Amino acid sequence: MASSSSPKTSEETFEYICTACANDDLIKEALKYCVECQQYCCKDCLTSHRRISSLKGHSFLENSSVKPQGQPRTLPALPTIQCSKHVGKILDMYCENHDVVCCYVCAAEDHKSCKDIVQVLYNIDRLYSKTGASQATSKLNDTIDTMTQYGTNTYTLLKQLQVSKHTAIKAVSDFRIEMERILKKQEQETIKEIEEEYKMLESQILKERKRFQDYIDDLKNLKQASANIAQLFVGTKLAEMKCITIKDEIKGNGRIKQAEIKFIPSKEMKTTIEKMVHLGKASAIASRKYNLYTATKVCDVIVKLEKDQPFWGCSITGSCIVDDTFIFTDYFNHKLKRFDISTSLIDYCQVPGNPRGVCRVGEKEIVVACNKVVQFVSVHDSLSLLRSITMNHDCYGIAHSNGKLYITDGNQSLYMYDMSGSLLKTVTRVYHRQSPFEYSRQMTFNDKNDRLFVCDDKKGLVCFNAQCDYIETITDPDVRPVGVCVDGYGKVIVANSGLQTIVECDRDGQKCGTIVNLTRENPKSVCVHHGLRKMFVCYSKSDTVEVYDLIWGSD
């Protein structure tokens, strides 16, 4: 059909009309549909899209692909929201495995292993019918109301925060005044002590002066005693003896040789005060409502392979997540085993020695602790061994953060290395020259607060900072950690030896509660996929790994 520039009252009709022109009471035939503008475009409007720089990146569809139902001007049911990760790309894909919408670039990068990923446009009727629109709208409205209430509550919180700030500042001033009062009292006591010392020494000097004056008077009297020759002889001898006595006293320790009062400041007090940057500790407290996970068992994954040792079975001692795959270390069979989100085996590889701990060190790279070897492994299309580093100690648990490797030896030591294998620090003793461990096992690093958690089922959860400085040992009768991981939000998940429980701890390692009681013994490791809300519990001497769904606690 030919295009027309006639007014809206023209007798010409088109199946598709230009949306922009129709708004100006012009009827023109639309040739394409612009996804971003959500408008049909005629030839002239298409030309404008090609000339205006801000419109050049828009996507166009054939009219037949978006044929409207009902009136010609009804806009088609097309997604138009752009991807926050890839500029200019529309969220027009849907992954049914992860229940997320994405652009086609996200689909290619993050969901290439997913089996059920479809285009929204061509599946919208089926997809929309499954969403339960009324329920979704109701839930959305409830969420908006809840968030609005939370927003209102923040005003109260800010007011409380402001009041608490002024209260804290006044407390600082009050504390300073109290310290000044204490110092004033100490000053008065010290001056009093100086006065007492002065009086005591003054009394001794006065007594000594009087004694010397008595000596002088006696000698003068003897000198004058010369009435006759006999008395002169006796007086002379007495004077000689008195002089000898006086000289001996002067030469000896009986005479005060120095008299002064000194004040020696307290070095301990001065050093302590100089070391103190603040008068006290300022702490910000944000009380939050904590929602504990609940775990529901989904299935057991059989991890034993045909080529595994027939009599030994499996012993899964370590685990980690890489994208949407799960990697387990099989100690008995010297293997790494990788499974996909449907818990189907993808591949496996043989490693040197008995693998224990495993952690991610790059986008597509992991590292495994194998006896006295640290083995780097590529996790691209297939598992493949890369370089390795030989250590002079056993390697048990392993963790990584910011180019540093942290390794336990299963005994009483923790080591920190760089990625080339150079030893940076060894921890064998802490306060009072005590070892922080009885048996150092698996560990994990929490990026949310730069805290390293090391399992010791005898002593507790041993905590260090990123420099391997000891912080504390968290002891709790309900926590005997043998496996540990972080869920992606800062929560610490601990598998307990002997207790057969999985407990949830806060980001500092303090226990929040038990999320599941296990029916089997000897858990060895635990890992969590926070995106899928899946938890994998691995056991010693077992051919299966337990899979759990994790659900947030309700508000």
- Report phi then psi at 294, rounded to 5: -120, 140
- Report phi then psi at 199, rounded to 5: -60, -40
CA 251 vs CA 245, 254, 258: distances in Å: 10, 8, 14
Residue 5's pLDDT is: 43
- Rounded distance between C-alpha atoms, residue 184 and residue 178, angstroms: 10
Question: How many residues are given for the chain?
Answer: 555
Residue 26: strand pairing partners: 7
CA 224 vs CA 227, 244, 247, 361: distances in Å: 9, 19, 21, 107
Residue 485's pLDDT is: 94
Task: State which amino acid sits at residue 376.
Answer: F
Instruction: Decide: helix, strand or coil at residue 553.
Output: coil
Residue 175's pLDDT is: 87
Class of domain 294-551: mainly beta
**406 close to 416: Cβ distance less than 8 angstroms:** yes
Ranges of H-type helices in 364-522 = none
Give the residue extent of every domain in the chain.
1-78, 165-261, 294-551
- Report phi then psi at 415, rounded to 5: -125, 145
- Report phi then psi at 187, rounded to 5: -60, -45
**9 close to 27: Cβ distance less than 8 angstroms:** no
What is the DSSP-derived secondary structure letter of residue 224?
Answer: H
**443 close to 399: Cβ distance less than 8 angstroms:** yes
Residue 250's pLDDT is: 66
Please state the separation of Cα 33 from the chain's center in Å. 48
Please state the separation of Cα 251 from the chain's center in Å. 75
The parts of the chain modelled with pLDDT lower than 50 are 1-11, 68-75, 555
DSSP string, 51-106: HSGGGTT--EEEGGGGPPSSSTTSPP----PBPSSSTT-B--EEETTTTEEE-HHH
pTM: 0.55
- Rounded distance between C-alpha atoms, residue 359 and residue 382, angstroms: 17
Helix (H) or strand (E) holding 286: none
For 309-312, the CB contacts below 8 A with 24+ separation are 309/333
Residues contacting 443, CB < 8 A, separation 6+: 357, 397, 398, 399, 406, 408, 452, 453, 454, 455, 484
Residue 125's pLDDT is: 76
* Sign of the torsion angle spanned by Cα atoms 476, 511, 417, 315: positive
Helix (H) or strand (E) holding 525: strand 523-529
pLDDT tens for 361-385 read: 998 999 999 999 999 999 988 999 9
pLDDT tens for 460-494 read: 999 999 999 999 999 888 889 999 999 888 899 99
- Rounded distance between C-alpha atoms, residue 317 and residue 408, angstroms: 14
Please state the separation of Cα 97 from the chain's center in Å. 30
Q: At what angle do helices 133-224 and 229-251 cross, to 10 degrees?
A: 160
- Report phi then psi at 494, rounded to 5: -125, 130
